[in-house]
Chains A and B, each alone.
Chain A
Amino acid sequence: MIDFEYVSKFYEGDREALFEVNFRLAPGEMAFLTGHSGAGKSTLLRLLLGLETASSGAVRVAGTNLADLSGEKLARYRRRVGVVFQDPNLEEDLTVFDNVALPLRISGFSESDIPRRVMAALSRVDLSEQALVSPKLLSGGQQQRVGIARAIVHRPALLIADEPTGNLDPELSARVMRMFTQFQQLGVTILVATHERAVVESLPFRRLVIERGRLISDGLGSKR
């Protein structure tokens, strides 16, 4: 599903953000991307989302080199990816329903199809009852779940999460991770970037450890 082929990324002044990062994530696989702040996790995710292009090497998703995509093709690729942010990034002037419906509207789903899909996504994160309220009225954990519902509502084949539990307490973090595990069991490929050791060590998934832009470890973790 995801192929990083000796990917390096340099910024202006030859500042090295990633250096020859090489790994492959099979379809339906879930992995953690860990490392300290500034290690290169965000750069890697930006490359995976097509927000930047690699200085050398290739980033391929489902066989497509992202460097070959631009404009409408790149937008179409992003419509097949679900993204969960540390800050759920919800639009406060829209209801929970409309926030979750955003990817569907952007992807051009018919209005008659949208309510069914949105309610299905909200029920997966146990927020069906809150569909018509403003996100402002929800707790931080609920807002994060709305963000997750928005990321899965269009049934993406790939889910990318950037510090999804960064603002949550341990109990809510565990709940979010359980959701990701369920999605993975449904065949979604998931890459979770986090620097929270507790979260990573609580689940038996592959860990990609990145440090100073280099992939220093790639292996399976074991549940404690």
Chain B
Amino acid sequence: MNRWLSDHRWAIADALKRVRERPIQFLVLVGLLSILLAIPGWLAQIWLGMSSLVPEEAVHSEAIVFLSNEIEFEERIELERMLGESPIVEHVIFIPKSKALADLSSSDGLAPLTQLADDNPLPDALQLRFVFSPDSGVSELSLVERIEFDPRVLSLRYYPSTRIQYGSMLEVLAFFGAGFSMLTILGVLMTVFLVSAADVVDDSKRIKLYTLLGASSRYIQRPYLYRATFLGIFAGFQACLAVIGLNALLSEVVINNLEELDSRLGSIPLDTRILLGIVMVSVASSWIGAERAMNQRLKGLH
């Protein structure tokens, strides 16, 4: 235990010495990494903010299911019953083709169409109104898809609610945001990797000496890994400060306008999970970048 403590104390002192020896390099790296980390952090903050703003009072989704002309009465009743039992369907209304034709005539002022009543070209239809039920485990889209392929159904028109449209937009944003975040994390990793690899080249004489004196690879790597950890911690905290600052700036600029749209938009809450995530990702990616570089370069050196 004493050996372990003394080795780590020595490594930390050595890492701090390295930081003191090249303060400008360290600060520039902290700045660069914090920018790389603040971007996905800020995107995540905006995304989470948007997710919490899903309109509660949004218009519900609807679907018009046009029934096949050959459908029997019992079959239609069975279909109505099946749809009505779904936890996400609020109600099912049968619209006979005669009513559809009459409605069409009156709404469009096409009175002569009523003359077609005996030869009505429109199909019978079911009007579905969906209800938002995230805990039901059934999605509107999957139900719509199932109905579309039902042999009793001629065709279907689906009108998703603003909630669904907003949700789809958030999904797309999350997909691109995640991709972009991966790229920036890769950028952090590569930056630390390259810096650590350059350190090994700079310190090759010292590393060779330590190797000959019997230092294990772990012993040699430790100061570099600690320095990368310090780098990750500082960059992570600076990125957090940047996210907090950007959030405050955005709040000041747009908050008044947003508040008029929705009272819940009076403040943009900062998600602490994001801040914690930034620091953790920063430390982990810095450590991994340095560890990979050290392993690769030390092998080459030996």
Interface residues of A (CB under 8 A from B): 49, 51, 71-72, 75-81, 83, 89, 91, 93, 102-103, 105-108, 110-111, 150
Which residues on the A side are within 8 Å of B6 (C-beta)? 105, 108, 110-111
Is the CB–CB distance between B210 and A110 below 8 Å? no
Cβ of B217 to closest chain A Cβ, rounded Å: 7
Is the CB–CB distance between B2 and A91 below 8 Å? no
- The interface size bin for chain B is 20 to 34
CA distance A106 to B17 in the complex (A): 18
Which residues on the A side are within 8 Å of B219 (C-beta)? 75, 106
Q: Top 3 closest A-B pairs, CB basis?
A: A79-B214, A78-B214, A75-B216
CA distance A69 to B21 in the complex (A): 36
Query: Which residues in window 190-231 of B have CB below 8 A to A?
Result: 205-206, 209-217, 219
Q: A71-B217, A76-B214, A107-B214 are in contact. List 8 more A-B contacts (CB 8 A).
A: A51-B302, A79-B213, A79-B214, A81-B214, A83-B213, A89-B209, A91-B206, A150-B213
**CB closest chain-B residue, reference A104:** B213
Which residues on the A side are within 8 Å of B2 (C-beta)? 110
Is the CB–CB distance between B206 and A106 below 8 Å? no
Query: Which residues in window 1-37 of B have CB below 8 A to A?
Result: 2-3, 6-7, 10, 17, 21
**CB closest chain-B residue, reference A79:** B214
Cβ of B210 to closest chain A Cβ, rounded Å: 7
Cβ of A212 to closest chain B Cβ, rounded Å: 26
CA distance A89 to B10 in the complex (A): 20
Cβ of A53 to closest chain B Cβ, rounded Å: 12
Contact of B10 among A51, A71, A105 (CB under 8 A): A105
Cβ of B199 to closest chain A Cβ, rounded Å: 15
Which residues on the A side are within 8 Å of B17 (C-beta)? 93
List the count of A-B residue pairs having beta carbons below 8 Å apart. 50
Contact of B212 among A71, A76, A78, A105 (CB under 8 A): A78
CA distance A91 to B10 in the complex (A): 15
Is the CB–CB distance between A75 and B10 below 8 Å? no
CA distance A49 to B215 in the complex (A): 13
Is the CB–CB distance between B206 and A78 below 8 Å? no
**CB closest chain-B residue, reference A51:** B302
Cβ of A149 to closest chain B Cβ, rounded Å: 13
**CB closest chain-A residue, reference B7:** A108
CA distance A77 to B10 in the complex (A): 22
Hey, what's the 0/1 contact readout for B270-289 against A, CB within 8 Å counting as 1? 00000000000000000000
CA distance A102 to B7 in the complex (A): 12
Do A72 and B216 contact each other (CB < 8 Å), given the known contacts A91-B206, A108-B6? Answer: yes
Q: What are some 15 contacts across the A-B interface (CB < 8 A)?
A: A49-B212, A72-B216, A78-B212, A78-B213, A83-B212, A89-B209, A91-B206, A91-B209, A103-B214, A105-B6, A105-B10, A106-B210, A106-B214, A106-B215, A108-B6
CA distance A20 to B210 in the complex (A): 30
Which residues on the A side are within 8 Å of B205 (C-beta)? 89
Which residues on the B side are within 8 Å of A108 (C-beta)? 3, 6-7
Cβ of B6 to closest chain A Cβ, rounded Å: 6
Which residues on the A side are within 8 Å of B209 (C-beta)? 89, 91
CA distance A61 to B212 in the complex (A): 16
Which residues on the B side are within 8 Å of A150 (C-beta)? 213
Scoring B7, B205, B209 by chain A CB atoms within 10 A of each residue's CB, the highest score goes to B209
Scoring A78, A79, A83 by chain B CB atoms within 10 A of each residue's CB, the highest score goes to A78
Which residues on the B side are within 8 Å of A71 (C-beta)? 216-217
Is the CB–CB distance between B216 and A103 below 8 Å? no
Which residues on the A side are within 8 Å of B7 (C-beta)? 108
Which residues on the A side are within 8 Å of B21 (C-beta)? 93
Which residues on the A side are within 8 Å of B214 (C-beta)? 75-81, 103, 106-107
Cβ of B53 to closest chain A Cβ, rounded Å: 56
CA distance A37 to B215 in the complex (A): 29
Cβ of B13 to closest chain A Cβ, rounded Å: 11
